[in-house]
Structure 1
Amino acid sequence: MLTVLIADDEYFIRQRLKKIIDWEELKLEFIGEAENGNEVIDKISNTQVDILMLDIKMPIKSGIQVAEYIMTNNINTKIIILTGYNDFDYAQKAVKFKVEDYLLKPINKETLNEALLSCKNTILKSIEKQQKIYDYNNYQKRTHLYNTILDFNNIHSLYKKYPDIKNYDSLLFIGVFCPEDHDNYISSFINHLSKHFNELNKKTVLAQSFKENESVSIIQLIIKSKSAIKINYINQLITNYITDSVNVFISIGDFIPINENWTRNYNLVWNLLYQRYFIDDNIILSKNSLSLNKNKPKSIAIRKKLLLCLNSKNSRDLTKLINDIFINIRKNASKDYLILSLTEIFVTLQINFPDQINSKRCINSFVQELISEDYSLQHLQDIVVAYTNQCMDYVNHEKPSNTSLVNRVIKYIQKTYADPTLSVAEISDFFELTPTYLGSIFKKIAGQSILQYITELRMEQAKKLLNTNKYNVTEISQMVGYSDVFYFSKKFKKIHGCSPKHYSS
């Protein structure tokens, strides 16, 4: 709510003004009153005042002097002058000091509320414009930083565009896996880090985040001086923050000089996050805290066994086979072995059951998305069981169950896809089911995860909106459920092969 300060040297006028303003209807908040110019200056210097109702004739400092002070000091307060003097000279001075409105006493209720509404709308339009400028500039900066991460740009081109970064000497990447309320968690986490860093020294750290999928973001810390911040201090900050968090995993890269190549360190925190499948707590993952399995995974011969179980309709042997596969995955504790095992399973299913496993989909991409979104080997095992049972149902010439439920879920998503808070957990709560159960049923019937379906639906809607040429990319991003236009653009390009900007041009 926007705030209002009433300044008049007459007590009863101040009380009357407070009484005739439609505070609730206008959604304005009264934050105080003043009876002389010095009191006004003191209040606006220490409190955010959006609208100042200001009497021209006041003791110590006049309303015109206060208005001049506000303009000279670039204070972001809109002024409505109140006066009993219909004097052209006063009006001229009011215009000079960018007064928003000029009301003659006695002021009636309708005139006052119209003036406040007009002033409020001017402020909101200004805020919206400033937000769009900020969003655009932030989008441009994130794009330059991300292109430097991917080694498309070098550090010197970044310096040229953003000279202030020359004042920073080090870099650190932090990977965050958080499947629920991801955007809010990342925002809160960055605020937590920034708050503590700024207590050490103002602008010690520049923090930026890059969302990679619905569950993973990589946070980049550009550090003014490596000697000012120790890695143990960062570890302690993170440990304190994630103690009570569920299913949140955080990885930390190495401190590197800012003029070194960023790509290797960025990939390091990505790969460390995959180790969440092989640990029991949401602990900090760092290169030094884990002995990663660097051995190349051996080929695994499961194709024949899998087909034998499916074609013989032997559900008991099928369950045992899948269980044995996941026991070996856990023993190997290797991301590569995990990918190899899942790829082998889904390639087998796709080749032999193309009607049940979408033959147009790239299995490698599908598997990568699968393990990027999840965090538990048991969940992945449930997904594999759901897909293999779907294929066994086909062998048995049985229609998959729960089709009606999935159709209702799809209709719900189609109605709510534009809500940026839409998540698997929210959908599960609506249908009063657990996320794991609903997710496995949806995959079994729809052939893709709930998140994949939401993403595809949003991207198709984005294409339709782009084809109308009525909206800009930021507006479309918000209309299809993405509050982060940078992430929306990156996702759109990944799916459609070009950025939204180039698609519509």
Structure 2
Amino acid sequence: MLKVIIADDEYLVCQFLKKIIDWKRMKLECAGEASNGIEAFRLIQQLSPDIVIADVRMPGLSGLELIEKCGQAEIDCSFIIISGYPDFEYVKTAFTRGAINYILKPIDELELENTLLKVCRSIEERQDGGQWARQLEEQQESQIHTINYAKQDILCRLITENENALSLDKINRLYGCCFNEEAAFNVAVSNLSILDEGREMNTISVNVYARIEEQFRQHIMPLCCECQAVVGQEQLLFLLNYEPAVEHQVEAEINHVIEKLQRNMELMSARITIGLGSGRGKDYPQLYREAIHALGCRYVDNRCVIVDGEISYIKFNVYEILNLEWENHYLNLIDVGNENELKQLLENIQQEISKKGHVDPNIYLQAFKICTSLFQQEAKRLFHEVFDERKYSRMIDDACVHSRSIPDLYGKLVKITMEIYHECIGKVELKERWPVIKAKQYVEEHYAEKIVLKDLANELFVNADYFSSVFKKDVGIGFNDYLRQYRMAIAQQLIRSGEYSLDQVAEKVGYLDPKHFSKSFKKTLGVSPAEYKKFYRQ
């Protein structure tokens, strides 16, 4: 029997958990209860439980602090966090510290049971001391991963690229699927938008997509001949295969599942949307394109599930607005980095499109993508290798995924465009300043030696005239004047120290001829080295 401790400051929650868990069937034992974090930690130390179900917020120690404290004490137990707070930072911290799952209140009994089963299997596997059995399991697991990867790859290409190398019959035989070619097909594509766009929001995305897949497996699959989840780029796809008679029931159940998940996501400022193809025909890529088109309508349609073709929209050629004159104006604004006018121009695009009436939201998206493509071309021309095309594409993809409305999407376009523009300008300026920076470093390290501008330029692999020009432009004076002033500043310090004769000072700052040193010193400071020394001796 595996031991479980329940920690929650709400008595009724503890009793509810004790009631809904099938302790005998799952071979679990409720070893103890705690109403606060400190009491929970003492129980953990005394009873060495295998599993701890803890509330995220408790007096004394929070659930997250409890995980951390057990980690510091090197106590090995699995944590399941329950919470009424779907805050992104809580979720992120819980998973970062090693929680198995973060379950939101009201607690879904099935989700809790599945999580406990997963933990139990994991613990049993760790406790199994048979070397042969472990090797066999690892071998089987490796084979399963290989098969799953191959199946994912085949299905992804089947859906998105019309890859017909394998028939459905062969896919059924190779990967244990149950596709029925006589039944109906459809494709569902999910999108998760999160307002809190932190660098580590992948943590919550992975968790939510896992929940979506689990809910489809539990509620949609029983209605279908087959329901296969496929992980695409920033997307979770489903290839659905069902009898035509249950089409509306499948759509209704998908709605129910996503609405239920969405209710748990609202306080987290996250939104789940599913785009569904029309369900007509067996051209999988066409169904995929329809699902993507439906998903593009989410910027104006707030429903959780959008079926392509359900609403009639006006369509027109966006190049009627984004003509050659507009393109030249847009590129000119990019060239000069005029943020205010660029923002106004993009607002004008939205207004011009909206004047056409009840327009297909994907036309706004098409115009958005035209703008991004033009910026990429112009940035490559202006900034060459300093333009980070990958970074720009990633930021644009994130904007498409996480924007909630058309103005939000276009606002992000302005922000990203100007951020990348100024970043490129900075890199170009840094590139031009690089010889100046290196020259200053060289002077600092070698001022006591002979330094000739032409020789230094050769050291830096730049033309002497170019180097002289960029140095004066950046510093405000020529290189030789800078070198002289730097040496004289060091000379002043040495003279004031009183440790050296004037001839020694001259030598230490790179002058072999004391007369030349004296002349340079007077040119810089208006007094001779001797007069300067006398002044500081008084």
For normalisation by structure 1, the TM-score amounts to: 0.47
Instruction: Choose 1 or 2 for highest CA Rg.
Output: 2
For normalisation by structure 2, the TM-score amounts to: 0.44
Greater fraction of residues in helix: 2
